[in-house]
Amino acid sequence: MRRLPVLRRVSPRQRQFESLTRAHAGDLYRFAFWLCGQSALAEDLVQETLLRAWRNMDSLREAAAAKPWLMTILRREHARLYERKRLDTIELDDVRVADDGAWASPERHGQAADIRAAMSQLPLKYREPLAMQVLGGFSCEEIAAELGEKPGAVATQLFRARQKLKTLLQDDPMEATDHGLS
């Protein structure tokens, strides 16, 4: 006899949390990875972030605000972690990225891997706003509000982040400079 699926009552809050997790866990992991540089630590950060989000689910009013809201929580979790385990947290500059599982893809030795290696060498002050912009879709103003800086300062950081990436990639760094006019 064919068994019917078990029906369980799920609260709207739980449904919301599950949807949130399914929609954003991947992006959160990527953002966490570019903050801390370690796959296992990034996954821990994602879990901590989602648990904190679940506890504060009532403060999320709009679906469109979910991703920036989660990324903000993640940043704070990362900062807390950094305060707790200052010695354990390492700069991506020191990471041998080729040893990390996150790089195990067919593109590993291709162009994407070169960009990732270059990204890993950026200092956190450049890497963080760049990841927020590219992965999170934050504007300069939003990043500035998150980091407690002025929009102009953030724009400069983003400009220099790209400039350094291109230098590391031996791309045309002058493209990004104000001297590269042609």
DSSP for 57-81 reads GGG---GGGHHHHHHHHHHHHHHHH
Q: What DSSP character marks residue 3?
A: P
Binding of another protein by 46 (CB under 8 A): yes
**One of 60, 95, 102, 145 touching another protein (CB under 8 A):** 102
Binding of another protein by 159 (CB under 8 A): yes
CA–CA separation, 35 vs 136, rounded Å? Answer: 13
Run of H or E residues at 153: helix 151-168
The residue (of 73 and 154) whose beta carbon lies closer to another protein is 154
Show Cβ contacts of residue 165 under 8 Å, excluding neighbours closer than 6 positions.
115, 118, 119, 122, 171
Query: From residue 117 to residue 146, what is the string marking binding to another protein with x (rule CB under 8 A)?
Result: --x-----------x-xxx---xx------
Rg (CA), the chain: 19
Nearest to 70 by CA among 157, 138, 150: 138
CA–CA separation, 26 vs 36, rounded Å? Answer: 15
Binding of another protein by 163 (CB under 8 A): yes
State the minimum distance, in angstroms, from the CB of residue 1 to another protein: 29
Among the listed ranges 60-68, 73-81, 86-94, 113-121, the one in contact with another protein (CB under 8 A) is 113-121
**One of 72, 78, 103, 128 touching another protein (CB under 8 A):** 103
CA–CA separation, 67 vs 29, rounded Å? Answer: 12
Query: Using an 8 Å Cβ cutoff, are 130 and 99 in contact?
Result: no
Among the listed ranges 28-36, 63-71, 72-80, 87-95, the one in contact with another protein (CB under 8 A) is 28-36
| Residues at the interface with another protein (CB under 8 A) | 17-18, 21-22, 25-26, 29-30, 33-34, 39, 43, 46-47, 50-51, 54, 101-105, 111-113, 115-116, 119, 131, 133-135, 139-140, 154-156, 158-159, 162-163, 165-166, 171-172, 175-178, 180-182
